[in-house]
Chains A and B, each alone.
Chain A
Amino acid sequence: MKKMKSVLCIALLSTILVGNVFAGDTAGSGLLGFFDNVINAVISLVAPADSCETRQCQTCRPREDGGSGNCRPTR
């Protein structure tokens, strides 16, 4: 019985501690870290160079850090 309680106790503490660490780290550098370093894959293409003014047709913007833009050098 005593052994069972010890096991239960260790299990509880482990779960809570691991859970806390996971939660804390996730907000800091866990999953968020992953998302900070991934590429946003939205690329659509525009080729405005010779048929349209820049102001009318250029939608090339860099995305957030590590992200991809819809820019293509065209000139």
Chain B
Amino acid sequence: MGSSLRIFLRPERCINCYACEVACEKTHEGMGNIKVQGVPLVCLHCEVPPCITSCYRGALEIKEGIVVIRKDYCTNCGICVLSCPFGAIMVTEVERDGKKIPRIHKCDGCWERPYGFAVCALTCPSGAIGWERFEDAVVSKREKVYRLYLRG
């Protein structure tokens, strides 16, 4: 199961087809974790995540470089939603006994899916969402910047 593989975004390649949103919703029981508004945005899985520092129950944890919510610890209070600097933690209202209760969900890097691969990256037709090792992504980004620098 993709040990050090992560989702990397290349926003300049996005063609606004919303395939990733649909794929994510389908895999995560109708609660999509990716939003396309011009360019796709998912959780960036920060190295020092403010959501983890803000959570008073320790419901968020880092699993192999991916920040995940432990559903049995989460109280759906909404504090982590406010703490995320990118607004990548989503809230969906669910019906329970006639009242609407908010459910909090975020990108889990598809770590428990059978594919061993993030579905958004698998679906993306233009390669705007990549699924690669951290080191490879850094090298390719450096290459791109260097090419732009050479071009002037």
Q: Do A and B come from one complex?
A: no
**Residues of chain A at the chain B interface (Cβ within 8 Å):** none
**Residues of chain B at the chain A interface (Cβ within 8 Å):** none
